[in-house]
């Protein structure tokens, strides 16, 4: 099969424009995971797809501090607010990607 130069250029351009999935993508909206004594659920806002976060329940016997890590496509990634959650309680960390973001590619969290 022989491709003409314009067809090859078009194919290359389309591949370059296609959004790529982040290599270390974390669970997307409404994903629940347990780590570091926290039971967490990630979410992306229904009306604002650039706003997301994580809700975590502390299942340990001591206070735990965590923050959300939001992957923002072509815009810089966002670190959510630090939240300290007492034992048995729920805390939320969230953030908003820049207006020029290609969308949230993943949400995770870090125990501080």
Which pLDDT belongs to residue 37? Answer: 83
- d(CA 49, CA 41) in angstroms, rounded, equals 16
Give me the domains of the chain, ranges plus CATH numbers: 22-111 (2.60.40)
Strand 38-44: give its sheet, edge to edge: 32-35, 38-44, 51-58, 90-96
What is the residue whose two structure tokens read 């820049």? 98
Amino acid 14: pLDDT: 40
Q: Dump pLDDT digits (tens) for 36-54.
A: 689 999 999 999 999 999 9
pLDDT of residue 33: 56
pLDDT of residue 35: 59
pTM of the entire structure? 0.69
CB 58, CB 91: distance < 8 Å: yes
Residue 11 has pLDDT above 90, yes or no: no
Which whole-number Å values give the CA distances from 37 to 10, 34, 57, 79, 91, in the listed order? Answer: 50, 7, 8, 20, 13
Is the pLDDT higher at 46 or at 33? 46
What proportion of the chain, given as a percentage, has pLDDT over 90?
Answer: 67
Q: Is the dihedral of CA 33, 44, 106, 76 positive or negative?
A: negative
Question: Please, which pLDDT band fits residue 110 given cuts at 50, 70 and 90?
Answer: very high
The dihedral formed by the CA atoms of 9, 10, 11 and 15, expressed in degrees to the nearest 10: 100
């Amino acid at each position: 099969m022989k491709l003409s130069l314009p067809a090859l250029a078009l194919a290359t351009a389309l591949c370059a424009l296609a959004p790529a999935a982040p290599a270390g993508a974390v669970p997307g909206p409404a994903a629940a995971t347990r780590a570091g004594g926290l039971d967490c659920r990630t979410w992306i806002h229904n009306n604002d797809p650039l706003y997301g976060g994580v809700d975590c329940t502390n299942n340990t016997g001591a206070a735990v501090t965590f923050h959300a890590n939001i992957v923002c496509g072509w815009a810089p990634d966002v670190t959510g607010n630090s939240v300290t959650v007492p034992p048995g309680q729920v805390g939320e960390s969230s953030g908003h990607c820049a207006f020029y973001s290609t969308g949230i590619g993943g949400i995770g969290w870090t125990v501080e």
